Amino acid sequence: MALFAVTYEYTDAPRQRDAHRPEHVAFLSGLHESGRLVVSGPADGGTRALLVFSGESADDVAALLDDDPFRREGLIARRTVSAWSPFFGKERLDPAPAEEPAR
């Protein structure tokens, strides 16, 4: 799978975002736990966000994000999905091997 940088630019509706944030966080948490979402977080004081995903294609990642509650509620004014090839630090983004449970 390849890496994709996603940017969200939010609408000017902070109260609506706050109302739907728990569902949005749960959605992204599930993607993180599945290994699809590598890293994410707010940018520019919370008016934007940067997310890095693993995926087969930009269309694959975009389709995955169509189910984001923030998108469903019309709280994302603009979304970009771009193939991303990190040069420095790529090894830090590779998922750590799963540890075997203690017996």
- Residue range 16-57, pLDDT digits in tens: 999 999 999 999 999 999 999 999 999 999 999 999 999 999
Q: Amino acid letter at 29?
A: S
In 10 A of CB 75, how many CB atoms? 21
One CATH from 1.10.287.70, 3.30.70.1060, 3.50.50.60, 3.40.50.720 for 2-85: 3.30.70.1060
Q: Enter the pTM of the model.
A: 0.86
d(CA 72, CA 90): 32
In the chain, domain spans:
2-85
**Residue 60 in tokens:** 């694959």
